[in-house]
Amino acid sequence: MLEKGVTGARCNAVAEEGGPLREIAEAIGRGLNIPVVAKSPRRQSGTLAGSPRFVGSDIPASSALTQRRLGWHPTQTPGLISDLDNMRYFPA
């Protein structure tokens, strides 16, 4: 499929456009068997969420342009939460 693309073009191959950060954090917490707690922005220093430019940003991903340009459509892809819950990203 990429042979249909434009040299230097960026392709975003995602099946879903995003989800709530809390759900992502909870899935990671389940995988690591650690509790997930909410903290105020002031108390987040030293945590992943302590990087407000990244974590606090609303940067949705979309593959609409990639699908149009390449004639590609995601199939048989789990959602992010399902993928995190069912894959072996975390130590046993």
pLDDT in tens, 33-61: 889 988 776 776 666 555 556 666 677 78
Instruction: Confirm whether 11 is domain-assigned.
Output: no
The residue behind tokens 């990429």 is 2
Query: How confident is the model over 19-44, as a mean pLDDT?
Result: 83
Number of domains composing the chain: 1
Residue 5 lies in a domain: no
Residue 26 lies in a domain: yes
**44 domain-assigned:** yes
Q: Which residue has the higher pLDDT, 45 or 75?
A: 75
Could you tell me the two tokens for 47? 């945590």
Q: Is residue 14 part of a domain?
A: no
**Section 5-17 average pLDDT:** 82
The token duo for 26 is 């909870």
The predicted pLDDT at position 26 comes to 92
Q: Which domain holds residue 67?
A: 20-86
Position 4 in a domain = no
CA dihedral 6, 12, 16, 22 (to 10 degrees): -160
Residue 70 and residue 11 in contact, taking contact as beta carbons nearer than 8 Å? yes
Q: Please report whether residue 12 resides in a domain.
A: no
19 pLDDT tier (thresholds 50, 70, 90): confident
Does 13 fall in a domain?
A: no
